[in-house]
Structure 1
Amino acid sequence: MAVRKRLTAADWTTAALDALTEGGVAAVAVEPIAARLGTTKGSFYWHFSNRDALLEAALLRWERVNTEEIIALLDADPDPHSRLRHLMTLALGHPDDRPGDHVMLALQASANHPLVAPVLARVTRRRLDYITELFTASGLPHDQARRRSLLAYTAFLGHAHLATTSPELVPMGADRHDYVDSVVATLTRA
């Protein structure tokens, strides 16, 4: 008889994020996720009090990994222009390199959900504020930096949607490098 691996809360949140990516918030359901993990609902209740607690943990993990950890990675570079270019390189990459984008797009469909709405608002605000800081540190006045951060973020959202729905249209290789250069040049042009 095979020994079953003891699941952690992180295993459950990873599976919840996978389910969310594939089927939206409604797909974050205990029984199907338990089946996917090859376990019972009892394992779930060891870590979470209910489905909403799992969804909340998954959302918080997505926020941490796909916003705060990326910002921390970028902040290791002292040059704001270099950070902006690195950010755009990450943001305009292939969707398979950024599973968090799939989660974000799935969350957009449930933007009014009481657990999703505050997380999406917080993530969007944090990202826009960070990009604004990059433009301001690069020498732009705050109002102009804010407008450009909005342009950069909406370009990212559009790119993420295109990369998910029509990945064959997303520039790759040298074309991707040139595309990122073009986007950064457009965003930083005086």
Structure 2
Amino acid sequence: MEVPSEKTMPESARRAKPKRVLSPDDWIDAATDMLISKSIDAVRVESLSRDLGITVGSFYYHFKDRNDLLSKLLKRWHERTTAHVVRVFEEQVFTAEEALGEILALPFHGLTARRAAMIEFAIRAWARRDEMARQAVREVDEQRLAYYALGFQEVGFSKSEASSRAFLLYSFQLSQSFLWEVNDDKTRKRQLHFTKELLLSPLRGK
């Protein structure tokens, strides 16, 4: 059987664009963008497929349903913002004090940090009225705080004091992330330096 060449193919076939193939991450990216720009209520399969310019059949090739997509969105958020960061720091040759300083500075990493803050803010808003999201946020908070507290213990603080300092570090991180436009870069850097010195210095009178 003769295979048709480009010259013998119908005009419509030659002009036809190749079908777009989307990965699970493409759908999760689109869902994340919609979550940020609108709300969790706006994250619908039909809306996503329309924005992506593709049929819903592609969605069901990768996900069971909308809830499966949202579950994987939360899983990826946890992996990228917490589990992965912990692994990166553990694989580096950092002292505990240096690692805490690097962690404290995460909200200052330019556009990457701004994007992460927008995602985090949207997920925390979602968690206020959804148990699945609330559980994901709870797990992230607990893992981050436990890791930070361990770092302070390695520096030399007691378990109780390390826990308190971890909470203060985390509060600083979240505040800087959510209040990005309150201060200019110079002020933010001064606050970073002051907070680092404060958190790593022993309490007076002890």
* Unaligned stretches of 5+ residues in structure 2: 1-15
Corresponding letter in the other structure for 1:121: R
Select which of 18, 29, 36 maps to 2:33.
18
Aligned match of 2:120: 104
Give the number of equivalent residue pairs.
184
Coordinate RMSD, CA, aligned: 1.6
Select which of 74, 79, 84 maps to 1:59.
74
Corresponding letter in the other structure for 2:192: V
Corresponding letter in the other structure for 1:179: Q
Corresponding letter in the other structure for 1:91: P
1:129 aligns with 2:110: no
Q: 2 CA distance for matches of 1:17 and 1:103?
A: 7
Aligned match of 1:180: 192
What is the 5 A alignment of 1:3-42?
Answer: 3-42=18-57
* Preserved contact between residue 62 and residue 100 of structure 1 (Cα < 8 Å): no
Select which of 135, 146, 159 maps to 1:142.
159
Q: CA deviation at 1:175?
A: 4.9
1:16 partner SS:
helix
* Preserved contact between residue 85 and residue 180 of structure 1 (Cα < 8 Å): no
Q: CA deviation at 1:63?
A: 0.5
Q: 2 CA distance for matches of 1:124 and 1:91?
A: 16
TM-score, normalised to structure 2, is 0.83
Aligned match of 1:155: 172
Deviations 1:68-91 (A, max 9, x none): 111112222330110011111113
Corresponding letter in the other structure for 2:98: S
**Higher RCO (Cα < 8 Å, 6 or more apart):** 1
Q: 2 CA distance for matches of 1:162 and 1:86?
A: 19
Q: CA deviation at 1:123?
A: 0.2
Corresponding letter in the other structure for 2:200: T
Larger radius of gyration: 2
Q: 2 CA distance for matches of 1:139 and 1:91?
A: 25
Q: 2 CA distance for matches of 1:182 and 1:171?
A: 15
Q: CA deviation at 1:27?
A: 2.5
Deviations 1:43-96 (A, max 9, x none): 1111111111000001100110011111112222330110011111113444x2
Q: 1:132 to 1:171 in 2, by over 3 A?
A: farther
Deviations 1:115-156 (A, max 9, x none): 201100000000000110111111100100001111111121
* Unaligned stretches of 5+ residues in structure 1: none
Q: 1:87 to 1:14 in 2, by over 3 A?
A: same
1:113 aligns with 2:125: no
TM-score, normalised to structure 1, is 0.89
* Preserved contact between residue 34 and residue 41 of structure 1 (Cα < 8 Å): yes
* Preserved contact between residue 124 and residue 134 of structure 2 (Cα < 8 Å): no
Q: Which moved more, 1:120-129 or 1:31-40?
A: 31-40
Q: 1:110 to 1:185 in 2, by over 3 A?
A: same
